């Protein structure tokens, strides 16, 4: 779960039989006492379950987290610029090779190549899309 007003990621265990979520840990996206107003959005988990990416409005970044093998703990690895202003959505391409950030206020979609070992995205390009709010693959 993502805390939009409180910049944290809460990792949960899901019980398929009961449909219940049980929190297993909470990870702050920024160090204690970090300045500025931030609003996380659009969490995306890698297909192999090793990485989590979260866009953050206010810092205009993508925070990269590593997930443990059980998927019960998250650790912030780094953050990278999202390529625009006010990232509203983040989408993983079906090939798992690229992330796409819809930057609403700058009116663009920026795409990133993903280093599959580290999970760190590297900017690869962008396209102008006025008021971009979502990226969907058909």
> Would you state the pLDDT for residue 76?
95
Instruction: Provide the pLDDT for residue 97.
Output: 95
Measured CA to CA, the distance from residue 50 to residue 72 in angstroms comes to 11
Residue 123: strand pairing partners: 112
Task: Tell me the domain boundaries of the chain.
Answer: 32-128
pLDDT at site 70:
80
**Which tokens go with 28?**
């702050």
pTM of the model: 0.91
Answer yes or no: are the C-beta atoms of 27 and 43 closer than 8 Å.
no
**Which of 17-25's residues contact partners 24+ apart within 8 Å by CB, and which partners?**
24/72, 24/73, 25/72, 25/73, 25/74
Classify domain 32-128 at the CATH topology level.
Answer: Neuraminidase (2.120.10)
């Amino acid at each position: 779960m993502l805390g939009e007003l409180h910049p944290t990621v809460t990792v949960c265990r899901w019980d398929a039989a009961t449909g219940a979520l049980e929190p297993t840990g909470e990870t702050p996206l920024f160090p204690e006492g970090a300045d500025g107003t931030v609003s996380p959005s659009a969490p995306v988990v890698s297909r192999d379950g090793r990485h989590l990416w979260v866009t953050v409005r206010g810092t205009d970044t993508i925070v990269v987290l590593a997930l443990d093998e059980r998927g019960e703990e998250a650790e912030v690895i780094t953050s990278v610029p999202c390529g625009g202003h006010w990232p509203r959505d983040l989408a993983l391409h079906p090939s798992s090779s690229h992330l796409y950030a819809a930057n609403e206020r700058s009116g663009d979609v920026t795409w990133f190549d993903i280093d599959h070992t580290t999970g760190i995205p590297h900017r690869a390009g962008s396209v102008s899309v006025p008021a971009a709010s979502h990226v969907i693959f058909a």
